[in-house]
Structure 1
């Protein structure tokens, strides 16, 4: 599991990104369970995620951050990354971010993809 913390901070909200290889729905469930073992992630406001399985099946979860899973999914499509889950975590800071939240999700996914290329 690759984790990058404190990717973005805006108006009190903080973002992190995590990810790793998964083979199927059970792998997604296991990954999310492992991530949330850390109390910090279990208490996060949102853990949005997406994965494109090797058979082309696309799955996403918004976890209350409507539309964020689709942003991650589209970025994975463009990158051609399959069999790999990416989770963007947000700790809400008390102020609404509007459309900026999608830009922050993109920043997190880009940071993750860059780190993945370097490993």
Structure 2
């Protein structure tokens, strides 16, 4: 599991990004369960995630952050990163971010892919 915390802080909201190998939905569920063993992730407002299977079929969850899962899917497609789940976690800070939240999801995924490439 690769985890980057404190990636973005904006108007009180904080973001982190995590990911790892996942070949199917069962693996995604196991990954999320492991992630949420850490209390701070279990208490997060949103744990949005997406993955592409070996054939390129997308699985995703917005976890209440409408549209965020598709942002992750598009970035996975551009990077051609398959059989890998990426989770963007947000702790809501009390102020709505509007469209900036999508940019923050993109920035988190970009930071994750860069860290993965550098590993």
TM-score of the superposed pair, with normalisation by structure 1: 0.99
Q: Cα deviations across residues 66-93 of structure 1 (Å, max 9, x unaligned)?
A: 0000000000000000000000000000
Q: Which ranges of structure 2 fall in alignment gaps of 5 or more residues?
A: none
Following superposition, the deviation at residue 2 of structure 1 comes to 0.3
Runs of 4+ in 1 over 2 A off after TM superposition: none
Following superposition, the deviation at residue 23 of structure 1 comes to 1.3
Provide the secondary structure at the position in 2 that maps to 1:85: strand
Q: Distance in 2 between matches of 1:65 and 1:110?
A: 18
Q: Which residue number in structure 2 is paired with residue 85 of structure 1?
A: 85
Taking the TM superposition and a 5 Å limit, the aligned residue runs for 1:99-118 are 99-118=99-118
Equivalent pairs counted in the alignment come to: 119
Q: Cα deviations across residues 45-103 of structure 1 (Å, max 9, x unaligned)?
A: 00000000112221000000000000000000000000000000000000000000000
Q: Which residue number in structure 1 is paired with residue 61 of structure 2?
A: 61
Q: Which residue number in structure 1 is paired with residue 51 of structure 2?
A: 51
